[in-house]
Amino acid sequence: MTTEGNLNGSPAGPRNKVGHIASDIGEYIRQQRNNAKISLRQLSKLAGVSNPYLSQIERGVRKPSAEILQQIAKGLRISAEALYVQAGILDLPTGGPVTDAIRAATELTERQKQILLDVYESFRRENQTTELPKESEPHGEQGEQQD
């Protein structure tokens, strides 16, 4: 008798892991939707995903693609990266004193934490990109670069 993985948790190696990831991301989406006080039907419209498909994602029956996760994130107004991390597509971002403090703040909702983290990361990225030209052009306003 062959034991196959299913979404109810019976063991079967990689198939079981996929089912577990699907249920984790589905639960996380449901949590975020409830925190945002949005109905399944409303999120379905906002994300451009059919109501039955979104329901299957939340119940862990389907594992959404990165594109669908991005649409859902847009509908929830959270970072797509947060969903990618939950789905196992991206690794958990590295911490630091600011991100650790935000994540540890018990008085904030998950959505509020994610918004703060997004703003913080956007400032960090902006500063990194503005620093690059300064390094390659030390005087700032050089005309043509010499070979």
Least confident of 20-24, 33-37, 47-51, 134-138: 134-138
For residues 137 and 30, what is the distance between their CA atoms, to the nearest angstrom? 48
Residue 8 tokens, joined: 């109810």
Residue with tokens 């859902």: 72
Question: Which is more confident, 13 or 101?
Answer: 101
The C-alpha atoms of residue 78 and residue 66 are separated, in whole angstroms, by: 14
Per-residue confidence (pLDDT) for residue 129, from 0 to 100 = 78
Instruction: Quote the CA–CA distance of 99 and 41 in Å, as a whole number.
Output: 33
Q: Is the pLDDT of residue 20 over 80?
A: no
Neighbours of 139 (CB within 10 A): 6
| Residue-wise pLDDT tens digits, 55-91 | 999 999 998 998 999 999 999 988 888 788 888 887 7
What does the pLDDT read at residue 19? 53
pLDDT digit string (tens) for 92-135?
A: 666 788 888 887 788 888 888 889 988 998 898 888 877 655 55
